[in-house]
Chains A and B, each alone.
Chain A
Amino acid sequence: MKTIIEEQDGKFVATLEGELDTVAALEVEKALEPLYENTGKDIVFECKKLEYIASSGLRILLTILKNAKANGSEVILRNVSDNIKDVFNLTGFVNIFHFE
């Protein structure tokens, strides 16, 4: 599992690659720590190479979303594959996240 955070055009862009399972979630949670203290910047998750996501991964995304919303910024999921989108569908997360 690979996690990269960059700043582009005043937004955070986090690229997630590989399988975000329960074990991976432990690292990813740490890696994404900067996004927890959001200062009002929008966050984009680049999911082109994300192959798998477990509920622990979803929880991380939800926590970040809640913080972002509290600060008036947006969370955008970019290039989500059909398989991953399916999991978002099953959990109802399609309704609360913004997809590009």
Chain B
Amino acid sequence: MKWHSSHSVKYNIGIVITVAILLEAISAVQYYYAHHLLNDELELRVLSELRFKAFALQQTLEQAELSLQEHLWYINEYLEEPDSMFVATQRLIHVNEKVVGGCLAFVPNYYPQKGRLFEPYAYEECDTIKVEQIGGKDGHDYTENPAFLRMMSVKRPFWSDPYKYESATGPLSLTTYSYPLLDKQGEIIAVCGIDVSLSWLGDTLNARHIHSSSFDLFLTGTGELIAGPSEDRVSQQRVQHLVALINDSTVRRESTNNERVKVINFYDEERHDEGFIYYASMKNAPQWQVALVCYEDEAFGKVKTMRLYVSLLMLAGFLLLLLVIRRTVNNVIHLQRANMEKERISGELRIAQNIQQQMLPKQFPPYPERDDIDIYGSLVPAREVGGDIFDFFLRDEKLFFCIGDVSGKGVPSAMVMAQTHSLFRMATSREHNPARIMQTINEVVCEGNDTNMFITLFIGILDLPTGRLRYCNAGHDHPILTGKDTTEIPAMANLPIGTFSDFRYEGQEQYLPAGTMIFLYTDGLTEAKNNQHKQFGLERVRKVVGENSLSTPKQLLKWMDDEVHRFTEGAEQSDDLTMLAIRYTPKEEVDWLNESITLTNDIHQVSLLNAFVKSVAQKLEIESVLARKLQLAVEEAVVNVMDYAYPVGKDGSVTITAKGNGKNIKLVIRDSGIPFDPTVTAKTDTTLSAEERPIGGLGILLVRELMDSINYERIDGKNVLTLTKRIKE
């Protein structure tokens, strides 16, 4: 068992390690793919947002350009009237809410009546549009303005870089679109400028974001910050750091999903987190850059949380699995042990079954050499071993038989059955009074019968020469006799064996006519049940026996067996089923010799006896060696009677009758003395040494050895001893 446990521990550890590695691998793969998927998803969302924001900016600028160009006709129409130019500038900012200011800076001396510098300027202040001429006002000389100078040389529209302007309502982030106003010769007559507010960029664009900590940055094509998040969200220092990163060409990489988009991974020391900057340039002028910043923990925090949860779940599952494995292994070990135990028990039961079967008579026909008796028996236990018993044996021309049923089934019954079997053999060894045999068995069984097992038992002793059946019944089912009629043996019930040790069993007797068959059975036959729980019943048993009154015992048992099986229709056998059938067919032989001699109980009369035997032997033409044997046997038997049948000094007689034919001789010795059965004396042990050999016991030993059979019966107050011998084959 030690090997088993260490083996299972190694096995368990192996499983644990394998499962742990497997779980970790699953978790890692899952995390990798989830991260990858989320990364892709994030980038797609970032790209779409970038596109959206770049588009919004582009649109704002384009709308400003468009609204300016739409008003050019008005300026051209009223160019001759300098004062109409104030209305023109006013209209410029009126149509587009993002345009906060507009001006027309005319080349010097274009309107002589207005002086050298003329610049009408319209602007929004407190929701009203104000217009004034600012050329030359407070020394303002727009001809020195870089934008004006630039326009004079390039003569094409352009956007200025964004700049800050301190308006009356607060600082504004502005950009100015400059547009040349040309005469018919293509010469510049004025520079038209509109101021577009970019303050909304920071407010509106920052408001819509994929993650709460994400924010946008707008930069010029040359990398200068246009707009970013408000300072309460992101510090100026951080913004500067990010702008520097965007302007550093060595840290960027291209996005996997869109090659126009650049990506920078960075570590934010303020947040202590990894971050990403996605940025791209606008397609059209002024080709500013839009950047989106987001952070690892927000983008992938959920994946990490998920991974943690998954890991915890797996750990829990893993522990559960361990428990299940442990349980399973324990169960398997238990099951193995239980199986081994079961195997051992069933092995022992098989042996017990063999032992029990060997106790029963198993050779059929048991006496093939005899034509006066035919026996067949069978015992089918409901389980491996059973509590039924049957037995028979022949001694001195007497058939001893019994059938019994121990209460209960299985091993306990089988043990009592084995005990009963031994007791039957023991009790019958010196006794042929069935009541006394029953008495002896009962006394032994009652002694120490703490389990209160009891046995119903029927014992019968059939004297074969005479057909005298003596029997004693201890609560067993009555055997059935069949021949001319079919009847039950009218047996007294008595008590079953094992109930009261002082119970007096009574025996009965009757003579069996030649050709009678005795059928004995246990209640497993009458109580055999079919699937409807109906019993086979005594009536059916009697019927089958009656119908087979002329069959052999073997045929009868087969018929009975077939009938029971037909009746039970394969229902499980619930009790041991035992049957025993004995057919008695004595042969009446005609004896042409029948002579008798009567002697007194005097030893000296033996000479007369010997002369009688010799003369009988002569008449039957028995050869001399056999004749000597007969003489010796008869002498010993008669001397035995003379010695024991009558008390010393009392006169008595012994009659010897010789009957014979060419085949057999039968010598019947009768006396009226006290009941004395010489056949039950202990068998003399012929192997003892001279010192140990008792002086007596030789006579009956010789009678047994010399004759074919010796048979004692007490009939009508007389001891009747019958000796038989076959004289010719």
Chain A residues with CB under 8 Å of chain B are 19, 21-23, 26, 52, 54-56, 58-59, 62-63, 65-66, 69, 83, 87, 90-92, 95-97
Taking CB atoms, residues of chain A closer than 8 Å to B693 are: 62, 92, 96
Query: In the bound complex, what is the Cα–Cα distance between A92 and B625 (angstroms)?
Result: 20
Tell me whether A65 and B690 are in contact (CB under 8 A).
Answer: yes
Subset of 28 A-B contacts with CB under 8 Å: A21-B607, A22-B603, A22-B606, A22-B635, A22-B639, A23-B603, A54-B635, A54-B639, A55-B699, A55-B701, A55-B702, A62-B690, A65-B690, A66-B690, A66-B691, A69-B690, A83-B625, A87-B702, A90-B701, A90-B706, A91-B686, A91-B698, A91-B701, A91-B705, A92-B687, A92-B693, A95-B687, A96-B693
- SS class, residues of chain A in contact with chain B: helix
Tell me whether A87 and B632 are in contact (CB under 8 A).
Answer: yes
Taking CB atoms, residues of chain B closer than 8 Å to A52 are: 628, 631-632
User: Can you name the residue of chain B whose Cβ is closest to the Cβ of A56?
Assistant: B639
As a 0/1 sequence over residues 610 to 654 of chain B, the CB contacts with chain A under 8 angstroms (1 = contact) are 100000000000000100100110011001000000000000000
As a 0/1 sequence over residues 180 to 201 of chain B, the CB contacts with chain A under 8 angstroms (1 = contact) are 0000000000000000000000
Query: In the bound complex, what is the Cα–Cα distance between A90 and B698 (angstroms)?
Result: 10
Query: In the bound complex, what is the Cα–Cα distance between A26 and B684 (angstroms)?
Result: 23
Taking CB atoms, residues of chain B closer than 8 Å to A65 are: 690
Taking CB atoms, residues of chain A closer than 8 Å to B606 are: 21-23
B363 within 8 A of A: no
Task: Sort chain B's interface into a size bin.
Answer: 20 to 34
B233 within 8 A of A: no
B604 within 8 A of A: yes
Tell me whether A23 and B607 are in contact (CB under 8 A).
Answer: yes
Contact partner, B695, options A62, A91, A95, A96, Cβ 8 Å: A62
A65 to chain B minimum Cβ distance, whole angstroms, is 5
Taking CB atoms, residues of chain A closer than 8 Å to B153 are: none
Contact partner, B702, options A26, A91, A96, Cβ 8 Å: A91
Tell me whether B698 and A83 are in contact (CB under 8 A).
Answer: no
Known: A21-B610, A22-B639, A23-B603. A58 touches B698 (CB 8 A): yes
User: Can you name the residue of chain A whose Cβ is closest to the Cβ of B689?
Assistant: A96
Taking CB atoms, residues of chain B closer than 8 Å to A90 are: 701-702, 705-706
A1 to chain B minimum Cβ distance, whole angstroms, is 11
User: Can you name the residue of chain B whose Cβ is closest to the Cβ of A92?
Assistant: B686
Query: In the bound complex, what is the Cα–Cα distance between A97 and B693 (angstroms)?
Result: 12
Taking CB atoms, residues of chain B closer than 8 Å to A87 are: 632, 702
B308 to chain A minimum Cβ distance, whole angstroms, is 100
Taking CB atoms, residues of chain A closer than 8 Å to B686 are: 91-92, 95
Query: In the bound complex, what is the Cα–Cα distance between A91 and B604 (angstroms)?
Result: 24
Query: In the bound complex, what is the Cα–Cα distance between A90 and B688 (angstroms)?
Result: 13
